[in-house]
Amino acid sequence: MTETPDDTAKDDTAKIEKYITTALQRKAENIKAIAVGDLTSYTDIIIIITGRSARQVTSVAEHIHTTMKKQGVLPLGVEGIKEGKWALLDFGDVIIHVFDAETRALYDLEGLWSDAPELDLSRFTTKDEKE
């Protein structure tokens, strides 16, 4: 049976669910997930998250790191958590960037990966965001 693009998107969304729900536990904002696997060999999905302050960037990144570690999912690399401007967590097939708003706008990863499809994360929105 051949996998359709919809099947692949559903698989990708299931793959990142644990990261998205963990980030939302720390009230992360403006979460985007981009499927870059067809464009690069070093990862399948890039998740981009915004924190409202340096403290929140650190909190979101630390929470993802410790929660995944408790689940036995260890990162290949972690950078910038303490600085609070841009934290990077590399889980191999998924790379997570947690930015403050200014740094996110400066590096514009969404623009860099504009040829890659964005995953539908609407099922993860909170009740307040839907209203």
What pLDDT score was predicted for residue 9? 59
Domain chopping of the chain, boundaries: 5-124
Q: Give the orientation angle of helix 5-24 with respect to helix 54-70, to 10 degrees.
A: 110
What pLDDT score was predicted for residue 6? 56
What pLDDT score was predicted for residue 1? 41
What pLDDT score was predicted for residue 5? 52
In the chain (131 residues long), the average pLDDT of successive 10-residue segments reads 52 88 95 95 96 97 97 96 96 97 97 94 65 40
Tokens for 123?
């099922």
Class of the CATH domain delimited by 5-124: alpha beta
Contacts of 85 (CB under 8 A, 6+ apart): 54, 57, 99, 100, 102, 103
